[in-house]
Amino acid sequence: MNNKTNYEYLLSDLSSLKGVGEKTKNLLKKKNINSLFDLLWKLPKSYTDRSLTVKIKDLKIGEIQTVTIVPQKYNFPRVRKLPNRVLCNDETGEIDCIFFNSYEGYVKKILPLGKEITVSGKIGHFRNKYQITNPKYISEDSSIVKKAYNTYSLTEGITEKIYNKIINQIIENLPDFNEWHSKHVLSKFKNISWINSIKELHKAENIGNFKTNFYQRLAFDEIFSTFLVNSEIRKKIRKIKKKNKVINLNKQKSIIKKLDFSLTNDQIKSLDEINTDLSSTNKMFRLLQGDVGSGKTIVSLLAAINTINSGFQVAFMAPTEILARQHFKLAKKIFPPFVNIELISGKSMYKEKKEILKKLENYKIDIIFGTHAIFQKKVIFNKLGLIIIDEQHKFGVNQRKKLSDKGGVDCDVLLMTATPIPRTLTMTIYGDMDISIIREKPKTRIPIKTYSKLEAKIEDVLKFIKKEIKLNNQIFWVCPLIEESKKLDHASAVKKFEYLEKKFPNQVCLLHGKTDIEEKNKILNNFLQNKFKILVSTTIIEVGIDFPNANVIVVENANKFGLSQLHQLRGRVGRGNKNSTCILMFKSNLSDNAKKRIKILKDTNDGFLISEEDMKLRGFGDILGFKQSGIKNFKLADPVQNADLFLLAEKEMRRIENSGEDIGKFKPLIKLYDRADIINDIV
């Protein structure tokens, strides 16, 4: 390849390769391989060394070996089901090459009589004679056969030989790009180029070698491409000039004074950062990240009233209707009476909804609460100045960008999440946003006591619950599965509900993922109003809702949950002024990792520390379902193993931003890592 910037070759369709027809192309697509570039990241898991030849007398049965032989005689049976057989020898003995479903002409072509041929395959033994059945590696040129061949995780229908042929074809034609990194960055990887790094990555002797310069360089490329895109999105948003909001701090202070609690230092700092964004002429695109129960909602509502006082409308979106209603009630409680507040709900009658939408369009509503429905096309705002989205860690970069655009020029965007995630992940997932973090818990929040209990001692737990119910307290009981599973030995929510209903008649309700939305809201409202004492549930109670009277949570098979998820579940209690308890139940045969997780959770209530430990134990892909959230997974980079590369990427990105350096040279990098759909006109 002579073209130094020919990234189009690597992004081209698989059918551009020799030997890849429609059938092979479709088989590869099943493995999510759609381009030549995708194939480069399907790395070999092991290799077969066919480089050493042995004599027939030294062959080992059951092993893959390479032998140079001379075909002596063909045996082509007339009975179709019988195999074709070629008797071969060397100076030390005889061996049969066996072919099932092969034509005579093909066999004669690859094993011509009297010629020296090199063959490699698994050695068998039949009727006191060695044999190789259907050998795939055969050639008169021994150098073609005598190699180390990589073994891949193959899709059904593609042989190792074909796969190696395809990969080698791409590697032989790799474009040699102009270097995009600075000399300083390259020196960290001993100046190895991208093309040589890829070649080294696929060499048999380098399988699983993660500490090498070539592996580190490619991992850095992956990380840095993400940072580049995030930086460009930030720049694009900052270029948008909007009408600034005028913040009335006296009005803000009067609302804060009426609260029955004091703001923490972190809440005050975050509010100041948001106010600075609101009052600037640059569009706000900020994430408010806080631990469970750290008080993000009050900060967002204070930002909302400041926006309203400045003459703009606010849209507040929550993931569930019950959470939207909870925020709506809090706003009603703390906002001055002149503020027009509405909630748009799935339960709202058609006529009522129509009236709300009309009022919204005519600027007779200052702030509206609801689920994602408040951003439908038919919902028209008169002067939208702030969008607040609660609990949206499943929003990808693309979705956030669209959301920012939807609000219009003068509309600021504030996302909130109660999912503390490690810094390396924050830099990657939310790198397109400014970030405010609330670590500090309100002084009124009493730390939750966490205990672990063997499943066999459930009677002790039931005694404790009986005592709590007498004190008029409520209990969450969480199970991993909805129904009994023959394969998994977990507690089932349905079975546990039936068990607890017998122990506590008419005091238990059940909630799981199969419960429809209307029924779910009804159950949660009944529990909120203390009509039931125990709510048996799957993990759908994980995020967001306040149940001040619930002060005990029991988690069955706690070892089956990740640390971050257990911390989120624990956060469902301790929201009132009572002492709260989390009981982690488990079987006796715990793995070492499960023991570590439970110990960490018992030792700390700090969600940020817990998320760091969780990532070390389980890997970044599993932290609170980020793998399932549409967030792009890295092919090589790992936020735990490559934390130093993330910091290097952050430092290099800052240098480029401060110097105003043209990022045009990074075009191949951005295009290759499939980020171009986010900002097509980036370069």
Domain CATH code at residue 90: 2.40.50.140
Element (H, E) at 74: strand 64-75
Q: For residue 133, tell me if it sits in a domain.
A: yes
CATH number at residue 371: 3.40.50.300
C-alpha–C-alpha distance, residues 304 and 471, integer Å: 38
The structure tokens 């097509």 sit at 680
Residue 114 confidence (pLDDT): 95
Degrees to nearest 5, angle at CA 417 with 295 and 233: 130
Please check whether residues 267 and 365 belong to one and the same domain: yes
Does the pTM surpass 0.75? The reply is no
> DSSP label at 282?
B
C-alpha–C-alpha distance, residues 48 and 276, integer Å: 62
Please check whether residues 530 and 576 belong to one and the same domain: yes
Q: For residue 522, tell me if it sits in a domain.
A: yes
Helix pair angle (517-528, 321-334), 10° resolution? 40
Please check whether residues 311 and 276 belong to one and the same domain: yes
The structure tokens 């705002």 sit at 381
Mark which of 104, 131, 146 sits at the end of a domain. 146
Please check whether residues 431 and 287 belong to one and the same domain: yes
Please check whether residues 470 and 400 belong to one and the same domain: no
Domain that holds residue 209: 179-239+642-683
Residue 191 confidence (pLDDT): 95
Please check whether residues 230 and 255 belong to one and the same domain: no
CA quadruple 274, 275, 281, 285: dihedral, nearest 10: 10
Are the C-beta atoms of residues 392 and 417 closer than 8 Å to each other?
Answer: yes
- Give the list of residues 6+ apart from residue 544 with CB closer than 8 angstroms, or none: 318, 319, 320, 323, 326, 390, 391, 418
Could you tell me which of 437, 386, 416 has the C-alpha nearest to residue 278?
386
Q: For residue 215, tell me if it sits in a domain.
A: yes
Distances (CA, A) of 89 to 98, 111, 152, 179, 233: 14, 12, 32, 53, 68
The first and second tokens of residue 541, run together, are: 């109670």
Please check whether residues 368 and 286 belong to one and the same domain: yes
Length, in residues, of the chain = 683
* Count of domains forming the chain: 4
For residue 345, give the amino acid letter. S
Q: For residue 32, tell me if it sits in a domain.
A: no
Residue numbers of the chain with a pLDDT score lower than 50: 1-4, 393, 486, 489, 622-632, 676, 678-679, 681-683
337 backbone dihedrals φ, ψ, rounded to 5°:
-65, -25
Residue 679 confidence (pLDDT): 47
Please check whether residues 288 and 330 belong to one and the same domain: yes
For residue 461, give the amino acid letter. V
C-alpha–C-alpha distance, residues 322 and 325, integer Å: 5
Q: For residue 626, tell me if it sits in a domain.
A: no
Q: For residue 381, tell me if it sits in a domain.
A: yes
Degrees to nearest 5, angle at CA 527 with 526 and 529: 65
DSSP 548-613: TTEEEEEETTGGGS-HHHHHHHHTTS--SSS--EEEEEE-S---HHHHHHHHHHHH---HHHHHHH
Residue 190 confidence (pLDDT): 95
Mark which of 574, 604, 634 sits at the end of a domain. 604
Residue 397 confidence (pLDDT): 59
313 pairs with which residues across the strands? Answer: 384
Please check whether residues 549 and 430 belong to one and the same domain: no
Please check whether residues 220 and 339 belong to one and the same domain: no
Please check whether residues 273 and 338 belong to one and the same domain: yes
Please check whether residues 423 and 309 belong to one and the same domain: yes
pLDDT in tens, 261-308: 889 999 999 999 999 999 999 989 899 988 877 889 999 999 999 999
Q: For residue 267, tell me if it sits in a domain.
A: yes
Mark which of 407, 438, 469 sits at the end of a domain. 438
Q: For residue 655, tell me if it sits in a domain.
A: yes
